[in-house]
Amino acid sequence: MRYFILTVLLVFSQITTALAREGEPPETDWLSLMPESDRKALEDMPEITHDTPELPGGFESKGGLKQKDSNLPAVMHSTRTVPAMNGKTIRLGGYPVPLESNSKGNFTEFFLVPYPGACIHVPPPPPNQIVLVRFPKGVPLPDIYEPYWVIGLMKIEKVDNDLAEASYAIDAIKVRKVEETDL
């Protein structure tokens, strides 16, 4: 499982390193949200296996993305952050986990995660790899398997709700699907 997580993070980063649209900041890599010690621990983590593709703790169950398995290495529970990220305007690519919608059915709050299906597979990303996105304008999120760019002000902010624990939040000024032209 550690190879899967590292591979997905690195591949997503490589695929999405295309030039930003005019006026957008350069892409922020998910691994830059982890302190160096966490990145090293993730690389050195033993292989994680599970008997079924979907275990308790998925998107539909109470607890959702929250870490429940005490047998996981500590890095999979890490809330440690990178202080330099606080107050920085970034562009982060990832996959949405819908939370709150407005009267038009557009999502004004969602979690952004580094790989698709993070909300229904275990183990979920560590809290320092889950970002709460606030976007008052709202955005339709018809498919959690479609990647999105989120542009906005990053904050170190501990978020803990019924679905997940996150170490960061973004006040988004723009949310858009990753398009083929971005690649």
Report the share of the chain in percent with pLDDT over 70: 74
pLDDT in tens, 69-98: 667 788 988 999 999 999 999 999 999 999
Confidence band for 7, pLDDT divided at 50, 70 and 90: low
Per-residue pLDDT at 46: 77
Range of the domain at 53: 2-182
Contact yes or no for 170/134 (Cβ under 8 A)? yes
- Averaged pLDDT, 132-150: 97
Taking the model in full, what pTM does it have?
Answer: 0.78
Phi and psi of 84, rounded to 5°? -65, -15
What is the DSSP code (8-state) at residue 12? H
Q: How many domains does the chain have?
A: 1
Residues 166, 36: Cα–Cα separation, whole Å: 18
pLDDT in tens, 85-131: 999 999 999 999 999 999 999 999 999 999 997 766 567 899 999 99
CATH number at residue 93: 2.40.50.870
